[in-house]
Amino acid sequence: MRNWKALVFFDLDGTLLNADSEISKENLQAIQGLKQNHILPMIASGRSPKEIITITANTGIDSYVSLNGQFNVVENQVVSKHVFPLDVINRLMIFSKALNHSFACYTDQEYAACYKTASMEKLYKLDNAPLPEINKNFHLKNEIYMGYLFSEDETKDQLYQTEFSDSLTFYRDSPYSLAVVIKGQSKKTGIQEVINSLDLAHVPTYAFGDGNNDLGMFEAVQTAIAMDNASEYVKHHADFITKSHMDDGIRFGLEHFGLLP
């Protein structure tokens, strides 16, 4: 473990990734520049560890907050994970099926859904990711760290919030889906767990994001940076607004705060 002089957390979709869900050459150079400057770049995303590892291959990134704070890794070592109770998953599957919303379960390596829907297909096309396996019993044989509900009807979101107010938190993270985590968990708590594991609460912390599920991340760091492609609501909660994720906004923000050599 190195003596890092700052920590920078990056969301992936709409932030560090381009329209093809890839890390551009410019962003790769920025990540390498951070490490040369003794600053630790980390991912904070709703995506799974397997997806993050694939996306960040050859970048040197080995630390991340994944599944919206449910499974967290520092320098390739798991520092915290939060498992869904089986009875809660069963309740949610019954409730979501009555609303015709399929539900997917995520481990750190795999994911599977109860059945296929148009909303599901739209989400994974948007993320340039493979469709889930269809397996309604997947949760019975695996530890589940996060769930996804596939719904385009935002008027139904509050039904889930009310029904599961004792056990779960729901984040609408796309027009087609709701991310589901254990109540009280978020990118914020995941980042706090990572910072504590590094014993680096005294160093400056920064975060780049664009979505509603990044607001918790913004609360966990000293300096919150919103991408120009973020909503006005997200921008309102940021300390600084950088350029778009398609307009070298990562480098622009890092240079603004003097984080690159």
Q: List the catalytic residues.
A: 11
225 and 207 in contact (C-beta within 8 Å)? Answer: yes
84 and 127 in contact (C-beta within 8 Å)? Answer: no
Give the three-class secondary structure for 217.
Answer: helix
Secondary structure of 74-137 in HEC code, one letter for each residue: ECCEEEEECCCCHHHHHHHHHHHHHCCCCEEEECCCCEEECCCCHHHHHHHHHCCCCCCEECCC
Measured in degrees and rounded to the nearest 5, phi and psi for residue 127 equal -85, 0
**CA 167 to CA 165: how far, in whole Å?**
6
Beta bridge partners of 41: 8
77 and 119 in contact (C-beta within 8 Å)? Answer: no
CA torsion 12-18-21-23 (nearest 10°) is -70
